[in-house]
Amino acid sequence: MGSLSPSIGLNLFTVYYNYLQNFILGHHLTSIGWIVVLSLIRPFTLIPISMLGFIVAATHSSLGSIIILNISAFISSTVIFSISRRFANPLLKYWANNRWLKKTKQYGFETILFLRGSMLVHFDILSAVSGTTNVPFTSFFTASFLGFLPETLVYGLLAAVINDFSKFYLAAPVFLLYFIVVVLIRKKVKQINETSTG
């Protein structure tokens, strides 16, 4: 049964991705204006930013999708960050023992950069957690942007591979480079952690 879980998960992802893609394409919602609107309401809907990323990457040029996705990510993260900062006290009680909240409070920029780039923590949750800390918005924005950039490249390549699997061999080196960069950032965060606690 356990071996079926990845297959079932992949099938559900593919069905949901195709449904959202058909809906957005069918209603002509792929222009920059509509993507901005979707980015504003997305945090309050069931549309994951990864899905929006795949759809944008599949319907725009490489450069266009990178620009649009970074704008979309900035809008979504700013909305959640701002709301979270406004309602910080109840959220802090809810996340009182969350280890990533503690790390984000302590190391701010570096932790956000690593978590954005590695995608280990849900996009919206990281924005919300960051909003409850004293991390300046400029640091949050800069770290998020540096983390967004490689993500948008990955989304674009994954969308290309989904549409044409023969492109996997072209995408594989980029995926490997992305992994190496994330590991290097992780090492840097670890060094900062050891230096500050040593």
Structural domain boundaries, residue 43: 4-197
C-alpha to C-alpha distances, 59 to 28, 64, 73, 95, 155, nearest whole angstrom? 11, 9, 17, 38, 12
User: Is the full-model pTM beyond 0.75?
Assistant: no
Per the structure, the count of domains in the chain is 1
C-alpha to C-alpha distances, 172 to 66, 160, 169, 178, nearest whole angstrom? 19, 12, 5, 10
CB atoms within 10 A of CB 127: 26
Please list the alpha-helical segments (H only) found in the chain. Answer: 4-26, 32-41, 49-59, 62-86, 88-94, 99-107, 109-118, 123-131, 137-163, 168-197
Find where tokens 């069918």 sit: 26
pLDDT of residue 1: 46
Contacts 24+ apart (CB under 8 A), 104-109: 104/129, 104/130, 104/133, 104/135, 105/133, 105/134, 105/135, 106/196, 107/189, 107/192, 107/193, 107/196, 108/133, 108/135, 108/139, 108/143, 109/135, 109/139, 109/142, 109/143
**CA 33 to centroid of chain Cα atoms:** 20
Euclidean distance between CA atoms 157 and 189, whole angstroms: 27
pLDDT of residue 77: 86
| Residue 53, both tokens | 């990323």
pLDDT of residue 2: 46
Q: What is the pLDDT along the chain (198 residues), one digit of tens a residue?
A: 445 555 666 666 667 767 777 777 777 777 778 888 888 887 777 667 777 777 777 777 767 777 888 888 888 888 888 887 777 666 555 555 555 556 555 556 666 776 666 665 667 777 877 777 777 888 888 887 777 777 777 777 776 776 677 777 777 787 787 777 777 776 766 665 555 555
